[in-house]
Amino acid sequence: MPEQTGPLAGLLVADFSRILAGPYATMLLADMGADVIKVEGPRGDDTRTWMPPVRDGVATYYLGVNRGKRSIALDLRDPADAEVARELARRADVLIENFKPGGLAKYGLDFDTVREANPGVIYSSISGFGSGAGRHVPGYDLMVQAISGLMSLTGDPDGPPYRAGISVFDVMAGNHAAIGILAALRHRDATGQGQHVEVNLLSSALTGLVNHSSAYVAGGTVPYRMGNAHPSVFPYEPLPTADNDLIITAANDGQFRKLCEVLGIPEIADDPRFARNADRTERREELRPILAEQLRKRGALEWFDLLVEAGVPSGPINTIDQGFAMAERFELDPVVEVGGVPTTRHPIRFSETPVSYRLPPPELDEHGAELRKWLEDKGD
């Protein structure tokens, strides 16, 4: 195992999760220096088989969220393997799992049992719908996109509801789990006490709907599908140019004035119909063709450079490869190679304790022999 560095160096994480939310959280922890041991069943994480696309015969889905970890394959139905798992849980600073609530109890790996042997453990559970009345419902991101209401907001106003292009709530729940784990570790540093950190996809979804959630709970308004438009700001959507659509987000009066100046129609910013954001939002159907007429005089990338230079937020609608190219242009270095496997850079930069990329995504049970030897020795 390469030397651990980073803000979480010295932390041992037992990762009993699979697919996306949990593995994403533990990859973030691994990048920050934690020693993450990925516990897999004999067939491995489901995402090992989610292909295409592949790289060297391995699913890129799996590769995308599993760097920095060591893998051990354990059949929890086997008493000897279950004992190895319990010993790992006894030694761990953090245990993270996304079994159905209560699903690990029969193996002696539920929070209460683990805490008896390891009082300082931070035990993080990720579920679809919590450990109460929704505990029996399996949790998949697409289900939660539907149940939470997100799909009712996604798509054209007159078209069918759509899912987001990624498993957005899995990623969000993974982030929430990582945040909760770090907060619980802070508490343990102060008190010595471990605790149970519970995250569920539906709660992550409802808080992640932000202004739409607030529109309902605080304003009694049920939001509806508006395509790419924003319910409270205009312009804040794609607008046509001479070649491709361009996202323009003039979210305040000052930005709108700068937009009008760049487009060569400064008088529009003083037009009482459009002077304030509320006016522009109410009269968007009047304003949109005025802006589009000017935008059609140049291409999207040319306008992008002019608008950004003037301080107007905007952006071309890229494909994924173009998005990575733009990140390179902005010197964000979005790709890091780990053991010959290209992966996406950790999103946080630390000035004093930088992240590190020590291990490529592991093969199934790649580190099983060394980990079994270590865990079968009951000493610390």
The string of pLDDT tens digits covering residues 360-380 is 999 999 999 999 999 988 655
Q: Are residues 100 and 197 in the same domain?
A: yes
Give every CB contact of residue 372 below 8 A, 6+ residues apart in sequence: 72, 84
Q: Quick one: pLDDT at residue 188?
A: 98
Residue 1 within any structural domain of the chain = no
DSSP secondary structure, 231-300, as one string:
SS-SSEEEE--SSS-EEEE--SHHHHHHHHHHHT-GGGGG-TTTSSHHHHHHTHHHHHHHHHHHHTTS-H
Q: What is the pTM of this model?
A: 0.93
Residues 96 and 200 in one domain: yes
Question: In this predicted structure, what is the pLDDT of residue 187?
Answer: 98
Q: What is the CA radius of gyration of the chain?
A: 25
Quick one: which of 99, 44, 97 has its CA closest to 72? 44
Same domain, 308 and 259: yes
81 is catalytic: no
Active-site position among 31, 35, 81, 170? 170
Q: Which domain covers residue 27, as residue numbers?
A: 12-208+336-376
pLDDT tens for residues 27-61?
Answer: 999 999 999 999 999 999 999 999 999 999 999 99
pLDDT score at 377:
82
Q: Is residue 113 part of a domain?
A: yes
Contact 245, 300 (CB under 8 A): yes
Q: What is the CATH number of the domain that holds 283?
A: 3.30.1540.10
Please check whether residues 324 and 340 belong to one and the same domain. no
40 within domain boundaries: yes
Domain final residue pick, 295, 314, 329: 329
Residue 219 lies in a domain: no
Residue 41 lies in a domain: yes
In a domain, 157, yes or no: yes
Count the domains in the chain.
2
Residues 62 and 88 both lie in one domain: yes
Q: What is the CATH number of the domain that holds 345?
A: 3.40.50.10540
* 178 and 307, same domain (yes or no): no
Distance separating alpha carbons of residues 380 and 378, to the nearest angstrom: 7
Check residue 5 and give its pLDDT.
86
Report pLDDT for 380. Answer: 53
* Residues 61 and 194 grouped into a single domain: yes
Spans of the chain below 50 pLDDT: none
45 & 178 share domain: yes
- Clarify whether residues 113 and 90 are in a common domain: yes
Asked whether residue 372 is domain-assigned, the answer is yes
Residues 198 and 301 in one domain: no
pLDDT in tens, 98-147: 999 999 999 999 999 999 999 999 999 999 999 999 999 999 999 999 99
| Same-domain check for residues 279 and 250 | yes
The answer to whether residue 223 is domain-embedded is no
Q: Are residues 101 and 248 in the same domain?
A: no
